[in-house]
Amino acid sequence: MIDYSSFLNHLSDTALEPWQAPLETQLEDLWRTLKDGNLPRLLSYVDALPEANTTKVSLSDIVTATGDISDTEALRTQLKNLIPWRKGPFDLFDVAIDSEWQCNMKWQRVAPHVSDLNGRHILDVGSGNGYYGWRMKAAGARTVAGIDPSWLSVVQHLAVNKYIADPSHTVLPFTLESLTPNLELFDTVFSMGVLYHRRSPLDHINELKGAIRPGGELVLETIVIPGGPNESLVPIGRYARMNNVWFLPTADTLASWLDKMGFVEIKIVDQTITTPEEQRPSDWKPGQSLENYLDPNNHQLTIEGHPAPIRATLVATKPENQRLKRYHLD
Ligand SMILES: Nc1ncnc2c1ncn2[C@@H]1O[C@H](C[S@+](CC[C@H]([NH3+])C(=O)[O-])CC(=O)[O-])[C@@H](O)[C@H]1O
């Protein structure tokens, strides 16, 4: 089991306080029923991380902790045990974690378009190991709750936060669907790289809306295809070698889905083709990466012949006067 008490304590006396009790119960239920044989092994690597005295943290393009550490090679060994590192980059006491994704590139595309994060309570759905959460903290966020069903992501965050020691930033082992519904508490909800994994994208958008407070903001990033309104692709078989891809809308179609689900002030703020500069193999994520998922003779197409990945970012507001059916938290 993982000790989330410092995050739960952080929620006291904040706008997220109504979430404290249901979250505590949800975690207790999880530990009682958990059968994941992988978790103890992953946690043993975190337990074996060497002690350090962190003197400086820099939450910029490379999320960095510096200071005095007892054993750099032990640090490298335990961090390597947590391979693959898909999201990053990080640098912990001069151990450079060169992740598969250069997430700083996405953050540079997204950050200029989101409302000022200063003092905000944020839910990051499909947070991975929390790389973006650190960037949100640097932008002034008061709370960042990442949620991700991947234990590896959860444990990688634990490893990084052992040295940054921030109780207001966590990664919880939950899907959006399993979270307390209609919390309506978060000022900003991010869903980046998740919608195409959901079989029912409108339900995903509705669940995101349920987590946002009236007047709060949604930041939605997903793979899109080129084209106009009302077009989308449901790839038969795999897409870029992934077998869990469902709906790939055009950016216009995605905007119309947000409109249909009751969001306002919908803006398509960015569309960018994913390049092998942004997603590539490394020592920290060996094996195949984007280059292997594209048609070798035509990078406009995936290996299966679908349009190659373009990532769109949309920003939208939940109307002030729109409260959802209230979930009873008591
Ligand atoms: N139902 C779900 N609820 C919550 N998380 C989920 C769900 N299903 C999958 N995930 C998680 O969503 C993440 C998708 S990656 C995006 C990471 C980051 N946001 C990024 O923008 O780089 C895809 C990508 O590489 O773009 C994975 O960590 C899944 O475990």
What ipTM, to 2 d.p.? 0.99
Q: Which of 224, 227, 222 is closest to 205 using CA atoms?
A: 222
193 lines ligand 1 (CB under 6 A): yes
Q: How far is CA 319 from CA 43, 141, 185, 190, 261, in A?
A: 42, 22, 14, 17, 11
Tell me the domain boundaries of the chain: 5-317
3-class secondary-structure state, position 169: strand
Write down the pLDDT at residue 325. Answer: 58
Contact (Cβ atoms closer than 8 angstroms) between residue 52 and residue 70: yes
- How many angstroms does the Cα of residue 192 sit away from the middle of ligand 1? 7
pLDDT (mean) for 146-150: 98
* pLDDT (tens digit per residue) in 176-187: 999 999 999 999
Write down the pLDDT at residue 37. Answer: 82
Q: How far is CA 259 from CA 193, 267, 277, 319, in A?
A: 20, 11, 34, 11
| Upper half-sphere CA count for residue 12 (Cβ side, 13 Å) | 5
- Domain 5-317 belongs to what architecture? 3-Layer(aba) Sandwich (3.40)
Q: How many residues does the chain have?
A: 330
* pLDDT (tens digit per residue) in 77-132: 999 999 999 999 999 999 999 999 999 999 999 999 999 999 999 999 999 999 99
* Mutate-to-test residue for ligand 1 from 38, 82, 131, 148, highest number of ligand atoms within 8 A of CB: 148
Write down the pLDDT at residue 324. Answer: 67
Long-range contacts of 26-31, Cβ-Cβ distance < 8 Å, separation of 24 or more: 26/174, 26/178, 26/179, 26/180, 27/172, 30/173, 30/174, 31/1
Which residue's CA lies nearest to atom 10 of ligand 1? 126
Whole-number average pLDDT of the chain: 96
Q: Is the pLDDT of residue 20 over 60?
A: yes
- How many angstroms does the Cα of residue 197 sit away from the middle of ligand 1? 8
Write down the pLDDT at residue 329. Answer: 54
Which residue's CA lies nearest to atom 21 of ligand 1? 192
What does DSSP say about strands 143-147 and 90-92: parallel, antiparallel, or unpaired?
Answer: unpaired
Q: How far is CA 175 from the centre of its chain?
A: 11
* pLDDT (tens digit per residue) in 292-303: 999 999 999 999
Contact (Cβ atoms closer than 8 angstroms) between residue 223 and residue 307: no
182 lines ligand 1 (CB under 6 A): no
Name the pLDDT band for 313 (thresholds 50, 70, 90).
very high
175 lines ligand 1 (CB under 6 A): yes
Q: How far apart are CA 114 and CA 135, in angstroms?
A: 13
Write down the pLDDT at residue 321. Answer: 84
- How many angstroms does the Cα of residue 15 sit away from the middle of ligand 1? 26
Q: Is the pLDDT of residue 311 over 80?
A: yes
Name the pLDDT band for 145 (thresholds 50, 70, 90).
very high
Write down the pLDDT at residue 238. Answer: 97
Nearest 10 degrees: Cα torsion 23, 24, 29, 30? 70
Q: How far apart are CA 69 and CA 180, in angstroms?
A: 40
